[in-house]
Amino acid sequence: MTGTANGTQHPLTYIRGERGWSLREVAELVQRGSGLNMATWRQKVYRWERGVVPEMTAQYALADALGVDQTAVDAIGWPGWLHLATATTPADDGEWTIENARKVLAALVESGSTDRRGFLIYGGSALSSIAAGWADTPPEPIADGLDGGRVGTNAIAGLQLRVAELWRLDDTLGGGSCLQAAAADLRMVDALLRQARHTGPVGRELLSTAASLARFAGWAAFDCGHLAAAQRYWHGALRAAHAAHDTVQGIYILSNLALQAIYAGDGRTAVDLLEAARAQLDPAHRIVAAMLDAWQVRAHAILGEQRQASQLLNRADDLWANRRDGDDPDWVYWMPQPSLTAEAGTAMINLRQLSHADELLHAGLATLSPAATRDRNLYLVRIAETSLSAGRLDEAMASARAAIDAAAGVDSSRVTQRLTGLLDQLPADEPGTAEVREYWRAARQVTALVR
């Protein structure tokens, strides 16, 4: 099997097999789209599948042939952006009924964490279809449950407490340390839905708890790089939230799907998902509205839409300033002033407003809880990138070291990828670069020994 250095199938090999393309046919597609001389066509594509990075002109031509936007090529890099070309339409899970929600959850607990390829499975049109089904279909009434032992409100309260504990563990440990715990709890809730007796209101709470656990499991999978698993969890979570009449949970799930699209460089899909979520939001939930706007700022920045990004960031800050205690769900506890989020600072980097980005990121870093170690890493990496872009190499090196320190004990592939990407940007001919890279290598060895 054609593979990468770690033994997994290269995404270009997978795409060729999926579409029936030979090495020569890929080269011909690239030549037609770029005008490059692909005289050694077969050997070039062969080398791409074994670690050689194609020049950007060739990547853009291939992206056009595969229907992937060039902004995603720039944002994600080779070969990660190829994963977008493998996205498919979702399986037909039927109508948005309680019975089908339970079927999706049952399938999810059996295969949700499985992610052999790490590819996205739903593209932008499929995600829009899912969002429309959630928004446009009235939820069914919930009847009393099945045979078996009875589930009461005390059990529900205990399960919900476990969800809240997972949120805070993830802040400190990262998704890799929490995914299996969430999957196990989801399996337990699924068993209660299928086997236990309960009243209609308790059944609703069980479905809502299943949605919360599946949403969290999707987040944890996303954080540790399991992209397809994350989408499967979030799709199942949306089904359960709809069945539970839990609209605000559905809004959170759509926003998570949008954030994944942002990280994939797909700003347009993110905007569409966030708009669909906001259309269903109770205006009293001002912090949730501010969160949606803050993430949409980042999506517009990816698209180069500076005016829309600035307007939304101002609106988000106003919403957050006018929040009222008790009006928003508990899960939004982590949301700070929108302009001080790492997403807002990253948006300013995308828009090349480096001074503004530096100001917002430093101010946001100062507000972080000591337990938010993964977020601290994110802020520090973005600060280092800003310093590097502004030509302040010493500051970039110092922030890079601080980011490595903040990554200690955090099990998150997003952290690893951010740090690796940052170190790759440091100038190779600077003595400090080798020192920082060695510092990162040593830190990773210590973390591996601890685990």
Q: What is the DSSP letter of 95?
A: S
Tell me the C-alpha distance between 113 and 116, whole Å: 9
What is the per-residue burial (b if ≥16 Cβ within 10 Å, else e) of 306-338? bebbbebbebbbebbeebeeeebeebbeebbbb
Q: pLDDT tens digits for 54-100? A: 888 999 999 999 888 887 787 777 877 887 776 655 555 678 998 89
Tell me the C-alpha distance between 73 and 80, whole Å: 8
Please state the pTM of the whole predicted model.
Answer: 0.81
59 located within any domain: yes
Tell me the C-alpha distance between 435 and 199, whole Å: 62
37 and 104 share one domain: no
By the 10 Å C-beta count (0-12 exposed, 13-18 middle, 19+ buried), 381 is classed as buried
108 and 39 share one domain: no
Q: Is 165 helix (H, G, I), strand (E, B) or coil?
A: helix
79 and 95 share one domain: no
424 located within any domain: yes
Average pLDDT, the chain: 87
Instruction: Give how many domains the chain has, as a whole number.
Output: 3
Place of tokens 């957050």: 320
Tell me the C-alpha distance between 5 and 111, whole Å: 26
Q: pLDDT tens digits for 242-299? A: 999 999 999 999 999 999 999 888 899 999 999 999 999 999 999 999 999 999 999 9
124 located within any domain: yes
Q: pLDDT tens digits for 180-211? A: 999 999 998 888 887 777 777 888 899 999 99
254: which 2 tokens?
Answer: 């759509």
Q: Could you give the count of Cα atoms lying within 13 Å of 304 in the half-sphere of its Cβ?
A: 4
Smallest Cα–Cα separation from 344: which of 293, 272, 303, 307? 293
80 and 93 share one domain: no
380 and 446 share one domain: yes
Whether 148 has a pLDDT exceeding 70, the answer reads: no
Rounded alpha-carbon distances, angstroms, from residue 310 to 51, 231, 316, 352, 432: 40, 29, 10, 13, 36
Tell me the C-alpha distance between 380 and 114, whole Å: 32
Structural domain range at position 164 = 87-280
350 located within any domain: no
80 and 207 share one domain: no
166 and 261 share one domain: yes
